[in-house]
Amino acid sequence: MNSRSLRMSSTLVTCVCALVVSPGCERRDWQAEQAARQAGAAETTTATEPRSDIEESNATAAAGEQPAATSNAQSASRPVSGNGRSVAETAANDAVRLQIIDSEENNELPGSAASTNKTFLVLDTRWENIHEKQKVSKDKLEGKTDRTMGVGGLGTGGGSSGPTEYVEMDVAYKIPKLVDHVYALVDGQAVPLHPAMSRLPNGLEPTSPFGVGKQGEIRDLQLAFLVPEDAENVALQVFDYNNGHLVIPLRGSLELAKSSAAGPGDALDSVSTDVVELAAHSLDFANDYRGEAAGPGWRFAVVELGGQSVSRGGRMGRILQFDPKKYMWVHADGGYVYYASAGSTDAKGNIRFTPEIYQRQEVAFLVPDAVERLSMGLRINRDVVNLSLTKRAPSPMPDAGTRHEDGDVMEVLLYGSRRDGDYLILDVGIRPIIKGQGLEVKTARQFLLQTPDGEVKLDRQATAALPGHPPDPFVVPPGAAVRFELAYKTAATPTSLRVRGFRGEGVLEL
């Protein structure tokens, strides 16, 4: 990233898949089956990888550029039986036949336990490559080239090599990343693959590629999803834009599995752009989040965020994926900003939204105990969207008597200073002037305290302990003012704050 500005970008990627929950629960000895695990993937692929509009996402889709559709060429509509084991359910497109040969629900999988009111849906699937073989010239296979540019023997009426000979070759079916194409559709929401599937006998990491190399070849794969215990409408869908989508209903109504009135539901606030539809459904405060304690004086603001990426021009939209720690923040009273500390979609904490199918995520922000009024910001490409989280909006950043304008980039504001033991605490703000870009700020390099005894750099540890410490990473979102506190260890009386800006230097008198 350029030190002058940060172009915060969210990630868009193409992919859709739906999966359904099956009733019942039959226990299995997963450890005993571990030896039967299969591995490997096809070397070639019939799937087109989607383009990405957002830097943070490398998600790909086993799909070509076909109109958005959730139907498949051959789909079974019979629901799964209630004993937890499915009758063989099948769907096929032009390249692969997918069969669910077994399904069950379990409270735990190796290394993972289901959370409250959730259960693991495990599907044993069988994939058969049915892609027609393709004719390939022997010359291409042998690496021969026509050096006569098609003229052949001049005056002889043809090429010197004689008639072209063809051979039939297998076309491998390959999904670049399972997690980008396979989802459980549950009562109108898309549920992604769970990492615990990698520890199943025939499982893989959700981010792994998967393929079936030759026509007639069959591979078994176990899929795992963490779904609500009371799910009524469930289906499995694989999004494939080259060969046709696959969808297999497992319980209830397929239409309600894909799109339910209970999907978006009530919201604190919502917003719609040409990229994504988002809604903040709830805000809760907690002393710990996913095993991490907030610490004295702090707590987690946990937001349930729902949404879906937007389809445009009659085509399926792309998956929107981004790191909330870089692209999401909350505004608190007075202009203080706190970036996200965790998200719920995958093991890395990324947030993602699929096209067409509504999806709910959690994102957590570490904020001071005293914070009560919040709004949330999200950077998507060059756009910034804001969602209200509380009935009363947080108070804005106040005006400051001392300020420095750094060219056309930013305005630096100084609100005052106070003593805290051995430390001088400065109350500072930044208001961006440049449009359409965020600012990446290096506080230790750019804010230097001037005293009669010399220049003093900020104390990183003491600054991090302040309730109003700078965001980490310190990125000023486009068009959003940020207020923060800096701690300097010094007994001397300060004279000014030297600001090393992007266009030049400035001095703020204390």
pLDDT (tens digit, 9 = 90+) per residue, 351-377?
A: 888 777 788 888 999 999 999 999 999
Q: Indicate the pTM of the whole model.
A: 0.67
Which one, of 290, 269, 283, 272, lies nearest residue 342 by Cα?
290
Tokens encoding 335 = 């202009």
Tell me the pLDDT tens digit for each residue of 373-402. Answer: 999 999 887 778 899 999 999 999 998 989
Q: What is the CATH number of domain 269-388?
A: 2.60.40.1240
Q: Where are the extended beta strands (E) located within 93-162?
A: 96-106, 108-109, 112-113, 118-129, 134-137
Cis peptide before 473 (omega within 30 of 0): yes
**pLDDT value for 161:** 56
- Residue 300 makes CB contacts below 8 A (sequence gap 6+) with 285, 286, 287, 288, 289, 294, 341, 364, 365, 366, 367
Residue 18 has pLDDT above 60, yes or no: no
**CATH architecture of the domain formed by 402-509:** Sandwich (2.60)
Q: Do domains 11-132+171-258 and 269-388 have the same CATH topology?
A: yes
In whole angstroms, what separates CA 200 from the centre of its chain?
24
Dist CA 216 CA 168 (whole Å): 14
- For the chain, the average pLDDT equals 78
Domain boundaries defined on the chain? 11-132+171-258, 269-388, 402-509
Helices (H), 341-499: 443-446, 460-464
Sign, CA torsion 343/348/354/358: negative
Q: Mean pLDDT over residues 186-209, rounded?
A: 91
Considering Cα of 487, then 478, then 366, then 467, what sign does the dihedral take? positive
Hey, what CATH topology would domain 11-132+171-258 get?
Answer: Immunoglobulin-like (2.60.40)
